[in-house]
Amino acid sequence: MAAVAIVILVGVGITGQYLLVGNLNQPFSQVGILGPNGQFANYPTSMTIGTNYTLELYVANHEGHSMLYQVYEKLGSKSSMINQTDPLTSSPVVSYGFALPDNGAAIRRINVSLPSPGLNVRIVWELWNFVPTSNSWRYEGSWAQLFVNATV
Amino acid sequence: MVPPAQAETQDGAMSRIQAAYSAVLGAEHSGANVTTLDMNLTVALNLVNRGADVESKQPAIAQQYYLQADAIATQVASEAATLAGSGPSLAVRGEVNLVIELSALAVAALALYFLFPRLYWRVWTWINKDAKVSAP
């Protein structure tokens, strides 16, 4: 009867995991910026204004269902305020849209260009998602950023 | 369903995308695979973004982008509604597959439990058929 007991135990385990898996995982979304070669390296440290620099934008959905995202590219300075609850107050320069299934991810090649010179210019990519119940876009609390010197 | 407009604004196209997304969520909740619908929504969303980028300088081109986005979103909403209709059967199919897998596991374990000793001794006897027993 040992085999029967093992079967019951394994069956209970598999069924339990199947039923509880939605509650065990903490849902989350990710945004990241990759260098021109698709790696976490070779980021530009200075940019000539008006010149396009190629980077790669990464977004991943682990929320348990499909998500509709907008990534807002914004410009700020070293003193600009951004955290998990408050996005940058500046207006988006560019928007990138993503609709991702659960456990889906996307990498998109983007061109970044700065309009004016400055030291420690902060380029921020904020992740926003659409909330159908409130019919509005909500800041997800995730962002990626890059500090560069913008030169003429 | 509201037919796509002949002239479209950024807000109008975005509203249709948002409505299509809600329909996609409904289809997904019913157990449908919505990966393709999500891909199409991504295309629509970026058409709206591209339209917004050029609207001040090239309003006619922006209008084209909005209309394309609108058409895609309308198509996605329609397909999502169809998938949502077939969704419950998909969800039930998943449950049935789980029960079949668990039953197969149970049958395999019982077969192993009852048949393995007999099989083991048959094989052992066949391997040792020429063995001779001698007193120590």
pLDDT in tens, B4-39: 556 689 999 999 999 999 999 999 988 889 999 999
Q: Is the pLDDT of residue A7 over 60?
A: no
What's the average model confidence in pLDDT over A97-123? 95
A33-92 residues touching B, CB cutoff 8 A: 65-66, 68, 70
Q: How far apart are the first and last CA of chain B?
A: 93
Average pLDDT, chain A: 89
Top pLDDT among B42 and B8 is at B42
Cα B65-B66-B71 angle, rounded to 5 deg: 100
pLDDT value of position B2: 47
Instruction: Tally A–B CB contacts below 8 A.
Output: 77
CB contact at 8 A, B40 and B27: no
For chain B, say whether A110 makes contact (Cβ under 8 Å).
no
Q: How far is A99 from chain B (nearest CA, A)?
A: 5
3-class secondary structure per residue, B81-135: HHHHHHHHHHHHHHHHHHHHHHHHHHHHHHHHHHHHHHHHHHHHHHHCCCCCCCC
What's the average model confidence in pLDDT over A113-126? 95
Q: ipTM more than 0.95?
A: no
Q: What CA–CA distances, in Å, run from B10 to A126, B15, B68?
A: 21, 9, 11
Top pLDDT among A19 and B79 is at B79
Going by C-beta distance under 8 Å and a sequence separation of 6 or more, which residues neighbour residue B8? B63, B66, B67, B69, B70
Residue of chain B whose alpha carbon sits nearest to that of A7: B106
| pTM of structure | 0.76
pLDDT value of position A87: 96
CB contact at 8 A, B17 and B47: no
Q: Is the pLDDT of residue B107 over 90?
A: yes
Which among A6, A96, A135 has the least Cβ separation from residue B49? A96
Average pLDDT, chain B: 89
Residue of chain B whose alpha carbon sits nearest to that of A137: B18
Q: How far is A123 from chain B (nearest CA, A)?
A: 18
Give the pair of three-digit tokens for residue A23: 């509650």
Contact B110 A4 (CB under 8 A): yes
| Phi-psi domain of B67 (left: phi exceeds 0; alpha: psi -120 through 50; beta: other) | alpha
pLDDT tens by residue, B54-99 = 999 999 999 999 999 999 999 999 999 999 887 666 667 777 888 8
pLDDT value of position A15: 60
What's the average model confidence in pLDDT over A92-112? 95
pLDDT value of position A27: 94
Going by C-beta distance under 8 Å and a sequence separation of 6 or more, which residues neighbour residue A4? B109, B110, B113
Give A49's DSSP letter.
T
pLDDT value of position B18: 96
Which among B34, B49, B53 has the least Cβ separation from residue A97? B49
The model's confidence at residue A18, banded by pLDDT at 50, 70 and 90, is: low
Q: Which of A41, A40, A55 is nearest to A109 (CA)?
A: A55
CB contact at 8 A, A50 and A102: no
pLDDT value of position B1: 46
pLDDT value of position A11: 60
Q: Is the pLDDT of residue A4 over 60?
A: no
pLDDT value of position B98: 85
pLDDT value of position B61: 95
Residue B34's Cβ-count burial label (10 Å; 0-12, 13-18, 19+) is buried
For chain B, say whether A16 makes contact (Cβ under 8 Å).
no
For chain A, say whether B14 makes contact (Cβ under 8 Å).
no
Contact B109 A104 (CB under 8 A): no
For chain A, say whether B95 makes contact (Cβ under 8 Å).
no
pLDDT value of position B79: 95
Q: Is the pLDDT of residue B114 over 70?
A: yes
Which among B25, B40, B109 has the least Cβ separation from residue A6? B109
What's the average model confidence in pLDDT over A98-104? 95
> If you compute the radius of gyration of chain B from its CA atoms, what whole number of angstroms results?
31
| b/e code B48-79 from CB counts within 10 Å (16+ = b) | bbbbbeebeeeeeebbbbbbbbbbbbbebbeb
